[in-house]
């Protein structure tokens, strides 16, 4: 929870406001981002040896995103950018942790500003889907779908997201079980395969 979040956590109505996010790198010049390094994703990549080697080499920054602290009320919208950097752990592309929404039946939209990748999605019942991110493409994540952004390109994957502010994030089941599928590079191209760690 950011200081900004705490300052805004009241039931007072929000005043109109605007935030800048760069179309070049996705970053704001006025708001702090939340950063996720590889060490925060222990066990979430298939190749544990490649993971440990990368941690020793310097624990790379995998992605960053924004939480602007919009109060978690049902009429509010949370929004911001997410930037997933290019790279791989073994042959598995850099990705976000991914999450369900705590209010499971709440949707989200992601609009791709730069880079290329996939939005990997799945429901608790086992339906899954992957939609391509390319600049200009908006991806609709329906309610009930866990979602994870994956950078399959060579540039930062920059997306802008917006969802119901009270939806909440449930990382727990993803951190322990993973997604049913992972995205790896095979012959220079992304391929979706079964997650060998999924239980
Ligand atoms: Ni979400």
Q: List the CATH number of the domain containing 142.
A: 2.60.120.10
CA of 169 to the centre of ligand 1 (A): 7
CA of 98 to the centre of ligand 1 (A): 8
Residue 9 lies inside a defined structural domain of this protein: no
Residue 163: is its pLDDT beyond 80?
yes
Residue 15 lies inside a defined structural domain of this protein: no
% of residues, the chain, pLDDT over 90: 88
| Angle at the Cα of 142 from the Cα atoms of 41 and 144, rounded to 5 degrees | 65
Query: Are β-strands 61-65 and 77-84 bridged in parallel, bridged antiparallel, or unpaired?
Result: antiparallel
CA of 50 to the centre of ligand 1 (A): 28
Residue 6: is its pLDDT beyond 80?
no
pLDDT category of residue 7 using cuts at 50, 70 and 90? very low
- The CA-atom distances, in angstroms, between 171 and each of 1, 96, 179, 193 are 15, 11, 11, 22
CA of 162 to the centre of ligand 1 (A): 8
- Residue carrying the six token digits 């191209």: 189
Rounded distance, CA 115 to CA 111, Å? 11
Q: How many domains does the chain have?
A: 1
Residue 96 lies inside a defined structural domain of this protein: yes
**Overall average pLDDT of the 181-199 stretch:** 95
Residue 75 lies inside a defined structural domain of this protein: yes
Q: Rg for the chain (alpha carbons), in Å? A: 17
Which residue range(s) make up the domain with 84?
A: 26-194
Residue 21 lies inside a defined structural domain of this protein: no
Residue 5 lies inside a defined structural domain of this protein: no
**Overall average pLDDT of the 44-60 stretch:** 97
CA of 147 to the centre of ligand 1 (A): 7
pTM of the model: 0.92
Query: Are β-strands 181-186 and 77-84 bridged in parallel, bridged antiparallel, or unpaired?
Result: unpaired
Residue 182 lies inside a defined structural domain of this protein: yes
CA of 31 to the centre of ligand 1 (A): 20
Residue with more model confidence, 189 or 177: 189
Q: Which two tokens stand for residue 62?
A: 């995998």
Strand partners of residue 157:
84
pLDDT of residue 59: 97
Residue 183 lies inside a defined structural domain of this protein: yes
At residue 53, φ and ψ (nearest 5 deg) are: -65, -40
CA of 148 to the centre of ligand 1 (A): 8
Residue 76: is its pLDDT beyond 80?
yes
CA of 100 to the centre of ligand 1 (A): 7
């Amino acid at each position: 929870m950011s200081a900004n979040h705490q300052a805004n956590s009241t039931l007072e109505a929000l005043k109109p406001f605007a935030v800048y996010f760069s179309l070049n790198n996705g970053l704001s010049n006025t708001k702090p981002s939340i950063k996720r390094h590889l060490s925060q994703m222990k066990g979430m990549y298939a190749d544990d040896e490649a993971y440990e080697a990368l941690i020793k080499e310097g624990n790379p920054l995998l992605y960053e995103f924004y939480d602007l602290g919009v109060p978690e009320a049902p009429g509010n919208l949370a929004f911001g950018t997410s930037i997933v950097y290019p790279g791989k752990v073994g042959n598995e592309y850099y990705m976000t942790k991914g999450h369900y929404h705590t209010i499971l039946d709440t949707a989200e939209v992601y609009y791709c500003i730069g880079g290329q990748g996939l939005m990997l999605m799945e429901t608790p019942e086992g339906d899954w889907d992957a939609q391509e991110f390319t600049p200009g493409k908006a991806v609709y994540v329906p309610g009930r779908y866990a979602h994870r952004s994956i950078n399959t390109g060579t540039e930062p994957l920059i997306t802008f997201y917006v969802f119901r502010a009270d939806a909440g994030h449930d990382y727990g089941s993803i951190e322990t079980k993973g997604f049913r599928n992972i995205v790896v590079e095979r012959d220079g191209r992304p391929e979706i395969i079964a997650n060998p760690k999924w239980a």
